[in-house]
Amino acid sequence: MKCLAVCQDELVIRILAKALKPTLDVEFLVEDRLLARRLHDAEVTVHVGSPRTVESYLRAEIDPSTCVLVEDTGRRSPRRTLETIRDAGGVLVYLLDVGHPLNPRRQEEVRSRAPEIGHLALADLLRGALGMELDRSMTRARVQQYQRYLADADRVLILLHNDPDPDAMASGLALRTLLRRTKTTAIIGAFQGVARPENLRMASLLDIHVEPLNRRSLTEFDRVATVDVQPHYFGGLINKVDLVIDHHPERTGYSAAFKDIRPDYGSTCTILTEHLRAVDVNISERAATAMLYAIKSDTLFLSRQTNEPDLDAFRFLYPLANAALIRKMEGAETTVERLHCISEAVQHGKVVGSLYATHVGHVEREDLITYVADFLLQVEEIAWSVVSGIVHGDIVVSVRSLGYSRHAGEFVKRSFGDIGSAGGHRAMAKAVAPLDRFQQKFGSTDPEQIRATIHQLADQFLKEPQVTERRRTTSRTQHVGDTGAPASPSPQRESRGEHPSTLTRPLRER
């Protein structure tokens, strides 16, 4: 997140630059050009201008998501600076006390004129707490903004992706809790309902009802929020929503009143745990159990794409959750249907080096293909598994890798992005394309030819010099972010990172 600190004291600037740099993209606004030159030589990002003119903040390119810290020495009223920041579009604004604490009269003056202004003390920095407190304070301000925005709605739709996984369902439950709503005023819904055995088991044990939706359903709600998915996923069906909370790479093509997208997090439930803690909302055992199970499944018990926030959320939720229920939900992974798909994959697969490519033929659901890809990656010699199958007229390609070499998302985008939807993380990705378009490009839809084609594409990709991919990826990251994670045998999650950017055909009404 970008942070602009309005500060004129060189020592304070250097302290802030060092303290905030690990977690924030911090820049400074100063009036003295000589000071700016010294800071620039010290590799501190600095803008020169008056803090009491709107143009200074426009040049610094602040927006409503920019955290703005305003130095308060107690010698000069910051009122005009605060008003200017507000005029320039600043929303997350904090007074930073660098001297003595504000006297009661000054505090009352500031709060009466701008009640949304936060207050921090530089002394907290010396105890190592400023970064943590600032992060918690910014999260609190962000959550309170969208809570107020959604408060007057009679009915809110919490929209999940198709065939919701534990992270999606638990995130829907968490957002309903955060908004202090009931199942009648905040509906958790999806266009295609829960299908996988372990997810059905979770929904049953935790009494999570996912309402079936169709196109007309969208008109029945005053506000729409998406969790664990972004509106681009629905193929133009929804171009504007009120809130997006997701942990997958940010996509464009839609507008949202509020967004909290953190692709470096292992789970959307981790984000919502921070939201709930920031505003001190009570978390029930049911919600905590769902969220803990979601974090476990999305991160493969904290071994896949896991950061400190995921660990912190896990530590916080663990004593609140029902461990026995989680063990019961985890017991529904293996089914006869999945064993049959594994058998097909083994019979028709091809192994060359560390690559396992196979085709499972016609299957009823995409998650069966993903399950096979996860399973095959557990073979000792295998570092890449590429599994294809045909689902209702579409060819689906699911990719899993150990994540330390090539980028799985880059592979599917390059190979299938021109005929369908494709994308994902470094360690997991998916492509979905109409079967006729696959045939037009590659010449055949014979099962053996499909397997041979996909194996050839993957083999060529893996043999390509990595420096070429790095250059290509570097140029693309200016537009689209990708994150990676080691693969897993768990069928709990068809990563939304590997969800297609659009649906391959219009959603069918129910």
Domains annotated on the chain, with CATH:
2-128 (3.40.50.720), 150-332 (3.90.1640.10), 336-498 (3.10.310.30)
Amino acid letter at 120? L
How far from each other are the two terminal CA atoms of the chain, in whole angstroms?
41
- CA–CA separation, 206 and 187 (whole Å): 16
Residue 171: Cβ within 10 Å count: 32
Residue 34: Cβ within 10 Å count: 8
Paired sense of beta strands 211-212 and 223-227, if any: unpaired
Cβ-contact 356, 374 below 8 angstroms: no
Phi/psi for 247 (5° steps) reads -115, 15
- CA–CA separation, 415 and 422 (whole Å): 9
Print pLDDT tens along the chain (510 aa): 789 999 988 888 888 888 777 678 899 999 999 999 989 888 899 999 999 999 999 999 998 888 899 988 767 778 889 889 989 988 888 888 776 555 556 556 656 666 667 777 766 555 555 556 667 778 888 899 999 999 999 999 999 999 999 999 999 999 999 999 999 999 999 999 998 878 888 999 999 999 999 988 898 999 999 999 999 999 888 989 999 999 988 888 899 999 999 988 989 999 999 999 999 899 999 999 999 999 988 886 666 566 788 899 999 999 999 988 888 887 656 678 888 899 989 988 989 899 999 999 999 888 889 889 988 988 888 999 999 999 999 999 999 988 777 888 899 999 999 999 888 878 888 999 999 999 999 998 899 999 999 999 999 999 887 644 444 443 333 333 333 333 333 434 444 444 433 333 333 333
40 contact partners, CB below 8 Å, separation of at least 6: 46
Q: Structure pTM?
A: 0.57
Per-residue buried b or exposed e for 337-359, using 16+ beta carbons within 10 Å of the residue's own CB: ebeebbebbeebbbeeeebbbbb
- CA–CA separation, 90 and 266 (whole Å): 30
- CA–CA separation, 480 and 292 (whole Å): 29
Inter-helix orientation angle 447-463/435-442, to 10°: 60
Amino acid letter at 442? F
- CA–CA separation, 183 and 472 (whole Å): 46
Is residue 300 left, alpha or beta, with left meaning phi > 0 and alpha meaning psi from -120 to 50? left
Residues in the chain: 510
503 contact partners, CB below 8 Å, separation of at least 6: 233, 234, 235, 237, 421
